[in-house]
Amino acid sequence: MDNPFFEDWNGPFGAPPLDRIRPEHFLPAYEQALADHDAEIAAVAAKPASFENTILGLERSGKLLGKVDAVFSNLASSNTNEALQAIELEMAPRLSAHWSALYLNAELFARIAALFEKRKDLGLNSESLRLLERYHLDFVRQGAMLKGPARARLDEIGQRLATLGTEFSQNVLGDEQDFVLGLAESQMGGLPGFARDAAAATAKERGIDAPFAVTLSRSSVEPFLQFAADRSLREQLFRAWTARGNNPNSHNNNAIIAETLALRGENARLLGYNSYADYKLADSMAGTPAQARALLDQVWAPARRRAMAERDALAALVAEDGGNFALEPWDWRYYAEKLRNRLYDFDEAALKPYFELSHMIQAAFYTAQKLFGLSFKQRSDIPVYHPDVLVWEVARDGSAIGLFYGDYFARPEKQGGAWMSSLRDQETLDGKVLPLIVNNCNFVKSDPALLSFDDAVTLFHEFGHALHGLLSQVTFPRLSGTSVARDFVELPSQLYEHWLEEPQVLQRFARHYLTGEPLPRALLDKLLAARNFNQGFATVEFLASAFVDMDFHSSEEAAKIDPAALQAASLARIGVPPEIPMRHAAPHFTHVFSGDAYSAGYYSYLWSEVLDADGFGAFKSDPFDPAAARRLHDNIYAAGGSRDYAQAYRDFRGRDPQVKALLEGRGLETT
């Protein structure tokens, strides 16, 4: 069988031939890639310890495995099917075992440890020294210093957690795929034209015997909750949305959560930590759970006060409208939209025709051009894995710096949410390697594709991540792009969101999809005036999830956790209003349980927001100030993981960040 993974990729940019790669290619490719990597690691471990032999030997190893894994992980999340899901379940524990064997290789670690001990005498430059320090820390954190049975147990735990994480994400996707709510014309009361068009397109795409339909994609659910007059339908959809992973079916995640927490706690104790949160945050900007909680606590009190005032205002509106019921979670967005319209004469339906998808993509590109001198040329000759995917060549000063893949629409075979990934990372170790960066969003597919303002913010957010990969200028793969601490990685993305609100960006690209007329200044002023409306709700729903995540992973008796009881106790302890649900309840909290990327780390969005809110102050006098843009590029976007993160921020901003900018940005100033 011809297998694209065993060929040289000689097309434009050496991009993977995604149009020819099939599920049956992956297992043979993985088999060969794992065997190759094992042989490469054995050769590295057998050579005398030197930076070139050992550290750079590790950097040069596993090329085929990297190619296979990058393509597979992208397809498994963006365009999956039963065959890919079966491979995912089979390979998750095998890949975990493979990497565990590498990190527990005693001969290899002995060489790394010897180099680490004499690191100051090796004559290394700052980036090479950083690489050596990161490799040593990687090995230590993965158990290289453990002895006896603890090493084998850590390996077992890793394999089991890999399987559980895969099952968790597949279960959430399964519940999302199983649900579609067909709607008749009589059930569409209150929904504006853009929402009706999107629901009609969804019904057609899903083959529903109804003129309209909504799914459990956030971009489908939230407009319905915001505008639908039928309260019973809002409740039905809300309950289905919040029950993902918690239904009495084969997709229930509660047992997975309990086992995951128990295993993570055992993992941490084996490595000498009291809890998994202690372990995870030891390699972060926060450093400790106490530091992360201190930030959450500082924001919680003003956010809750604001949310309680918002709740009272919405309850009064319910009574004024003659509603003989208490405000419930499925009512919040509906009445908040009514109140926003009243207070600011602002109607989301009037705004949305000005936020057409292609215009917002161009707005993101324009911002990158103004800040960093980038240009974007659409390419039709780059293979893609789905017809929805668009590809652009990214260049600066006439030279290409990478490819950008945009996959913007929701579909049943795609995980929910929005994320950045890569098909190849930037490096220059053995010659210039250009990055291939992917953005995924889950906007409702319609013609035209009209975004809410929050959707447009999401697009800018993910493109900020993409720029972190595209603008990387480091030597070593281990330090490339987004290979940074979890509470630093959201800085480039959240900071980029600010430029969407800049009047010159909006006036240039927020144009009516039919007439081409720019967003009226009066509507723009209303949009900006209303940006902090409902911020109590938004902050509380986020913080509720962040506190629960931290409580889950801070327990020193993780084996005894009842996840549902602990979640309820966490919410009660901080006094979450019952009308405001967690943004991500545990059974569908994929950030935390589909892998460990954000476990004990959901707080990091807020930590990074302190940085981005403070950091945008560098552009206060001029949103495209060239000197500030250069500092931002050199110290944040281009630096990857090549330097200490706190120092990188100081080099950009000239000082440490201050939380005051975050509180002011969310309209949560304390007196």
14-44: per-residue pLDDT in tens?
999 999 999 999 999 999 999 999 999 999 9
Please indicate, yes or no, if residue 586 is contained in any of the structural domains.
no
The last residue of one of the domains, among 467, 483, 499, is: 483
Please indicate, yes or no, if residue 617 is contained in any of the structural domains.
no
Closest CA to 197 of 173, 227, 169, 159: 227
Asked whether the predicted pLDDT for residue 671 surpasses 70, the reply is no
Please indicate, yes or no, if residue 658 is contained in any of the structural domains.
no
Measure CA of the first residue to CA of the last residue in the chain; give whole Å.
70
Report the CATH number that the domain containing residue 31 is assigned in CATH.
Answer: 1.20.1050.40
So what's the pLDDT on residue 346?
A: 84
Half-sphere exposure of residue 523: CA atoms within 13 angstroms, side-chain side: 19
Please indicate, yes or no, if residue 363 is contained in any of the structural domains.
yes
So what's the pLDDT on residue 558?
A: 86
So what's the pLDDT on residue 670?
A: 52
**Residues 234/330, Cβ–Cβ less than 8 Å:** yes
CB atoms within 10 A of CB 197: 18
Residues 234 and 107 in one domain: no
Please indicate, yes or no, if residue 316 is contained in any of the structural domains.
no
The last residue of one of the domains, among 242, 266, 287, is: 242
Residues 106 and 184 in one domain: no
DSSP β-ladder status, 390-396 and 399-409 = antiparallel
Sign of CA dihedral 349, 350, 352, 358: positive
Q: What mean pLDDT comes out for the span 544-559?
A: 95
Closest CA to 99 of 62, 74, 71: 62
Q: What mean pLDDT comes out for the span 43-63?
A: 97
pLDDT digits (tens, 9 = 90+) for 77-121: 999 999 999 999 999 999 999 999 999 999 999 999 999 999 999
Asked whether the predicted pLDDT for residue 487 surpasses 60, the reply is yes
Residues 106 and 192 in one domain: no
B/e letters for 209-219, b = 16+ CB within 10 Å, e = fewer, are ebbbbbbbbbb
Amino acid, single-letter form, for residue 592: V
Residues 404 and 459 in one domain: yes
Placement of tokens 């945008």 in the chain: 616
Q: Please give the helix or strand (H or E) that residue 213 lies within, else none.
A: strand 212-214
pLDDT digits (tens, 9 = 90+) for 566-609: 999 999 999 999 999 999 999 999 999 999 999 999 999 999 99
Closest CA to 553 of 564, 543, 561: 561
Q: What mean pLDDT comes out for the span 361-374?
A: 98
Please indicate, yes or no, if residue 348 is contained in any of the structural domains.
no
Residues 8 and 135 in one domain: yes
Structural domain for 431, as ranges: 354-483
Q: Which of 303-312, 429-438, 516-525, 661-670 has the least mean pLDDT?
A: 661-670
The last residue of one of the domains, among 450, 483, 516, is: 483
Distance of CA 249 to CAs 86, 174, 176, 346, 535, Å?
Answer: 19, 10, 13, 42, 35
Q: What is the DSSP letter of 438?
A: E
Q: Which parts of 60-127 are beta strand (E)?
A: none
Q: Which two tokens stand for residue 617?
A: 């102050």
Q: Which two tokens stand for residue 4?
A: 């694209």
Closest CA to 167 of 60, 255, 38, 288: 255
Mean model confidence pLDDT for the chain = 96
Distance of CA 172 to CAs 167, 241, 637, Å?
Answer: 9, 10, 33
Instruction: Tell me how many domains the chain contains.
Output: 3
Q: How far apart are CA 56 and CA 10, in angstroms?
A: 26
Please indicate, yes or no, if residue 502 is contained in any of the structural domains.
no
Placement of tokens 């067909």 in the chain: 182
Q: How far apart are CA 445 and CA 296, in angstroms?
A: 36
Q: How far apart are CA 193 and CA 628, in angstroms?
A: 42
Q: How far apart are CA 32 and CA 379, in angstroms?
A: 32
Q: Is 89 left (phi over 0), alpha (psi -120 to 50) or beta?
A: alpha
Residues 372 and 456 in one domain: yes
User: Residue 484: pLDDT band by 50, 70, 90 thresholds?
Assistant: very high
Asked whether the predicted pLDDT for residue 126 surpasses 50, the reply is yes
Residues 16 and 80 in one domain: yes
User: Residue 559: pLDDT band by 50, 70, 90 thresholds?
Assistant: confident
Q: How far apart are CA 661 and CA 645, in angstroms?
A: 19
So what's the pLDDT on residue 365?
A: 98
Sign of CA dihedral 150, 152, 158, 164: negative
Residues 6+ apart with CB under 8 A from 229: 189, 190
Selecting among 462, 490, 497, 541, the annotated active-site residue is 462
Q: Which two tokens stand for residue 558?
A: 């993780």
Closest CA to 59 of 472, 478, 426, 481: 478
Report the CATH number that the domain containing residue 379 is assigned in CATH.
Answer: 3.40.390.10
Instruction: Look up 609 and say whether it is catalytic.
Output: no
So what's the pLDDT on residue 1?
A: 72
Give, in degrees to the nearest 5, the angle at Cα 361 between 333 and 364.
Answer: 95
- Cis bond leading into 448, ω under 30°? yes
Please indicate, yes or no, if residue 422 is contained in any of the structural domains.
yes
**Residues 244/226, Cβ–Cβ less than 8 Å:** no
Q: What is the reported pTM?
A: 0.95
User: Residue 349: pLDDT band by 50, 70, 90 thresholds?
Assistant: confident
Q: What mean pLDDT comes out for the span 168-187?
A: 97
Q: Please give the helix or strand (H or E) that residue 421 lies within, else none.
A: strand 419-424
User: Residue 208: pLDDT band by 50, 70, 90 thresholds?
Assistant: very high
Give Cα 94 to chain centroid, integer Å: 25
Q: What mean pLDDT comes out for the span 72-80?
A: 98
Q: Which two tokens stand for residue 487?
A: 């509470």
Residues 396 and 465 in one domain: yes
